[in-house]
Amino acid sequence: MKIIIANWKLYLERGASCALAQKLVLEFSKSLDGKKLIVCPSFVSLKEVGDIFRGTDISLGAQDVFWEDVGSYTGEISPRDLKELGCGYVIVGHSERRKFFKETHLMAHEKIKACLRVGLIPVLCVGENWEERRLGQRDVVIIQTLHEVFGGIHLRPDDHIIVAYEPVWAISGGGGVNASAQEAEYAHQLIRHMLLDLYDMNRVNDSFRIIYGGSVNPSNIDSYTNSEHIDGVLVGNASVKADSFLRLIEKA
């Protein structure tokens, strides 16, 4: 089953988020044709968008989370509260969090542990930036990130994690162009090999899904979803306009 995750970032205010959520429900109330659709609105829209999705096959996700449930942490978002609000998924370690809020691999590690503790499925973003790509460091960046984020995390049979290969240079907000399906496939194989260094084959097969993100749109989606190795896509910009997102889902 191909996974489509919509990352609405801070593109839509509450009213627009609810309007788009309603369009999705109208369009896909009957069938998602075997696709798994996960929508991650802004925190302040989570409750209302979640209410709109209730009883449908569309899942709710958050764009970030903190690693503690309660305490003196001004401004933070508790994993337990997200779970209670109906979220099933959380994006962790997105490059925009790393760039604007200086988030580190260690923070992503703590967030993943917190997600698994309360039964949320983390979506870890990993990928090199322009400079690292120019210096030929893509593989090192991927290997180091996975090592530092997953090192020491023991997985139980019912734990699930999505890893998104999301090269920073390909993200549309930074003026990026999408990575070719071949590049995305290569990175997926590398991620899988790296996970096999950390976990046994059954755990990797059962617990992990590996997707691609970065300037995915209705014209290029099929190059990723046609690949047998790529389990789905993480979509930003093209997921916040109803027409492009509906076309993208249909073509996936």
What amino acid positions are annotated as catalytic residues? 94, 166
Instruction: Note whether 246 and 198 are within 8 A (CB).
Output: no
167 binds ligand PGA (CB under 6 A): no
Number of residues that bind ligand PGA (CB under 6 A): 14
For 113, other C-beta atoms within 10 Å of its C-beta total 15
129 binds ligand PGA (CB under 6 A): no
Tell me which of 93, 213, 218, 232 binds ligand PGA, using CB under 6 A: 213
Measure the N-to-C terminal CA separation of the chain; round to a whole number of Å.
Answer: 11
195 binds ligand PGA (CB under 6 A): no
Q: Which residues contact 35 (CB under 8 A, 6 or more apart)?
A: 1, 2, 3, 4, 249, 252
Stretch of residues binding ligand PGA (CB under 6 A), selected from 29-37, 42-50, 149-157, 214-222:
214-222
Residue type, 83: K
Minimal distance in Å, beta carbon 154 to ligand PGA? Answer: 28
225 binds ligand PGA (CB under 6 A): no
User: 185, 174, 189, 169: which is closest to 128 by C-alpha?
Assistant: 169
203 secondary structure, DSSP code: H
Give me the residue whose beta carbon is nearest to ligand PGA: 236
Instruction: Note whether 166 and 187 are within 8 A (CB).
Output: no
| Nearer to ligand PGA among residue 52 and residue 91 (C-beta) | 91
59 binds ligand PGA (CB under 6 A): no
215 binds ligand PGA (CB under 6 A): yes
Q: 9 is written with which tokens?
A: 């970032």
* Binding footprint of ligand PGA on the chain (CB under 6 A): 7, 166, 171-173, 213-216, 234-238
